Structure 1
Amino acid sequence: MARVWNFSAGPSALPLEVLEQARDELTDWHGSGMSVMEMSHRGKDFGTIIDAAEADLRDLLDVPTNYKVLFLQGGATQLFSQIPLNLADSRSADYLVTGSWSKKAVEEAQRVAPIAGAVRVAGSTAAKGAVADGFTRFLRDEEISLDPQAAFLHVCTNETIYGVEVQDDCAHLAARAGAVPLVADMSSHILSRPVDVSRYGMIYAGAQKNIGPSGLVIAIVREDLLGRAVKTMPSTMDFAIAAENGSMLNTPPTFGIYVSGLVFQWLKRQGGVAAMEQINRRKAELLYGYIDGSNGFYRNPVDVPDRSRMNVPFTLQNSALDDVFLKEAQAAGLHALKGHKSVGGMRASIYNAMPLEGVQALVEFMQDFARRNG
């Protein structure tokens, strides 16, 4: 069976080279006589795997030495409550709401606020009375009101569902925050472009969108923010304890770490994140360019300066054609284009693993569909 073009938002496509390498090593990793899934996480072989994965990630993102790299479980959603429990230090924390995931982060932080610290929305693009209609851009400077005493400022730098992305690597936001640590959920665009890690107190990302299999979340935390966890924090959720134990207080998601390490190696062979940014820019420009030039047959609702290069939502002028579009697209080998249930329409997630050829195939199908149904 031929592989399809997989536009899923997550779990998403992995590079074919990585899948083939994992397949070839599945039953016998480097002559060990066993699979990575079978070997002890305390053994020398897995130690080699996790050390290489961390080294390669540090190299790709140029992570400063005063930051810890953590391989955690539970996904980014678990970290929505885990972060204030670790970093708030009984103080108020600021949150920016620009889509479903930053809204979810606020809701989860509010659940633990009685023991972690108060939650303050420092800015939101949600439309009054119609949240689904509001998330079409990032916040303007005058819409953000920051607390200079906040424990941290949380931002989702790429909203997967609505396709809104912070384009300047939070340079302006970090400058405004000053001494307040910036905490960024980069789940759906990490490693798609260079990042100045030193601007952030913490970066975290669920692996299943642009890194590897689901079940793994990667956190990059500045050392001075460790050791602030609430006293009742379970040890398995304490960032400081995870750092002290090299992410192996308990059994980590070993296979996810292994595959992510293969992805890091693949990214380095492509030329690193700077090279990937150029490819991702070309893919996004091709798709958005066609949508904008389709005379209204297709439409993307996001303000042009804030459009995501990774997640491209779009609608058809005639929504009665949605099901026909999806059915024909799948028959043409273009899968997982249905938009999130909360917004409808379509969405093409074009992460690092999606080659330019896949986006070209999508645009060609969209052109043909418009000719036949316009």
Structure 2
Amino acid sequence: MTNVYNFNAGPSSIPAPVLEKAKNEMFNFEQSGMAVMEMSHRSPLYEKIHFGAMDQLRKIYHIPDEFEVLFLQGGASLQFSMIPLNFLGKNQKASYVLTGSWSEKALKEASALGEVETLSSSKDNQYKYIPETDLSQLSENVAYVHLTSNNTIFGTQWPTFPKKKNVPVIVDMSSDVLSRNLPWEDLDMIYAGGQKNAGMAGVTLVVIRKSLLETANDELPPSLSYKQHAKSDSLYNTPPTAAVYITGLVANWIDECGGVEEMNRRARAKAEMIYNVIDESNDFYTGHAEFSARSTMNITFRLADEQLEKAFLSEAKEAGFVGLNGHRSVGGCRVSSYNAVPLKHVEVLRDFMIDFMKKNR
């Protein structure tokens, strides 16, 4: 695997030290004779993994005590429905900021369960920017505001979140969780699939303010109730044990590297390398996102024509690069540089992009 440069948008790279540690201990955890995915989720051995991962996430993300940390299943997409089921009451509406395909999907699922509105949107310009969003203009019957912090398909990211007023703010952070510190005072809930920055597919992280949790619908089936999952310490049903284990290892790795602060520094350095090539290419490469909205996680760009793009992706594949194709819905090229992508791999890609440009001008 040393000759593969993995830039997949998700599932994506897992830190090499995490994979090595998992290889050495996952299949005979603490000499128990059992693999992590074989042991009872009610056993002390698994509880050590489960609560250890929660505690480490609290530490590296500086999560205040007034928040619960949950490990759920169904992917971040299940939250599109769970959120309105839990928090959108009668005679209320949910307010959504549209910045890409995933926020559109979240809005669509919520609209099947209650009244929704679009607070702001950048769809008018192909989601190239983050729209101005003023949370002070919300009507009294708004149950919550929903944002998507990073947009994998279009390569945009909220540089900062809007200041919260009197309405709960919920953020889908599936593609930039654990990549930068958060203003917890302006957030009431974040959620993220684990398969990009927090481990492997199968576990969904939810961090939710306890005061918001208290307002959740009490009449839901337990499996769809945030209250029930919090009450059961995310052990209401069998959790995705292997995925939780990997998340714990990833959190430990982040801590050993210098924390989320260091992840943010690395993310900025890696993204700057590729953006510099784009900006200095005299339109050989053309970025999609406006400068102020550029993502540090997903860098999207096009080449001059379709044939040149195909040649770029073909030669990149031959050179060992994986996952540089843009999303099937928009085409183009995409560099997904999540926490686990090594700086060296980005340097190799930068050099490849420069060489390809020189050969094809």
* Structure 1 residues 38 and 142, CA gap change in structure 2 (3 angstroms): closer
**Secondary structure, counterpart of 1:357 in structure 2:** helix
Aligned 8 A contact 1:242 1:249 in 2: yes
User: In the alignment, is residue 346 of structure 1 matched against residue 345 of structure 2?
Assistant: no
Displacement after TM superposition at 1:111 (Å): 1.6
Post-superposition offset of 1:143: 11
Deviation, structure 1 residue 254 = 0.6
Q: CA deviation at 1:126?
A: 1.1
Q: 1:163 to 1:32 in 2, by over 3 A?
A: same
Deviation, structure 1 residue 239: 0.2
- TM-score normalised by L of structure 2: 0.96
2:146 matched to which residue of 1?
154
Whether 1:218 aligns to 2:215 is no
| Aligned equivalent of 2:345 | 358
Alpha-carbon offset, residue 76 of structure 1: 0.6
Spell out the pairing of 1:304-319 with structure 2 (5 A cutoff).
304-319=291-306
Distance 2:3 2:82 in 1: 38
SS of structure 2 residue aligned to 1:252: coil
**1:130 is matched with which residue?**
none
2:283 alignment partner, one of 288, 296, 305: 296
How far off is 1:140 after superposition? 2.0
1:62 lines up with 2:62 in the alignment? yes
AA matched with 1:161: I
- Report the Cα offset of residue 257 of structure 1: 0.3
CA contact (8 A) 1:123 1:139 kept: yes
CA deviations on 1:292-318 (whole Å, 9 max, x unpaired) are: 101111010211011000000110012
SS at match of 1:343: coil
Indicate if the aligned counterparts of 1:276 and 1:352 stay in contact, CA closer than 8 A: yes
Q: Which runs of 5+ in 2 are unaligned?
A: none
The structural deviation recorded for 1:195 is: 1.0
Could you tell me whether the CA contact under 8 Å between 1:181 and 1:201 is conserved in 2?
A: yes
Match of 1:371 among 327, 348, 358: 358
How far the C-alpha of 1:227 sits from its partner, in A, is 4.2
Distance in 2 between residues matched to 1:106 and 1:57, nearest whole Å: 28
Moved over 6 A (4+): none
- Letter of the 2:108 counterpart: E
State the aligned residue count: 360
Amino acid at match of 1:61: Y
Partner of 2:171, secondary structure, is strand
Deviation at 1:215, TM superposition (A): 1.6
Shift of residue 183 of structure 1? 0.3
How far does residue 141 in structure 1 lie from its aligned partner after superposition?
A: 4.3
Aligned to 2:103, the other structure's residue is in SS state: helix
Partner of 1:135: 127
How far apart are the structure 1 equivalents of 2:356 and 2:305?
12
SS at match of 2:196: coil
SS at match of 1:288: helix
Of residues 86-95 and 35-44 in structure 1, the stretch that sits farther from structure 2 once superposed is 86-95
- Please tell me the residue identity of whatever aligns with 2:341: M
The question of whether the paired residues in 2 share the 8 Å contact of 1:311 and 1:348 is answered with yes
The letter for the 1-side match of 2:312 is F
TM norm structure 1: 0.93
1:326: which partner in 2? Answer: 313
- Give 1:94's aligned residue: 95
RMSD, matched Cα: 1.5
| Aligned counterparts of 1:145 and 1:159: Cα–Cα separation in 2 | 24
**What is the distance in 1 between the residues matched to 2:319 and 2:3?**
12
One-letter amino acid matched to 2:270: K
| Distance in 2 separating the partners of 1:145 and 1:137 | 21
- Does the CA-based 8 Å contact 2:199-2:247 persist in structure 1? yes
Corresponding position of 2:18: 18
How far apart, CA to CA, are the structure 2 residues paired with 1:317 and 1:148?
Answer: 49
The offset of 1:320, in angstroms, is 1.4
Question: For residue 8 of structure 1, what is the aligned residue in structure 2?
Answer: 8
The answer (yes or no) to whether the contact 2:7–2:322 under 8 Å persists in 1 is yes
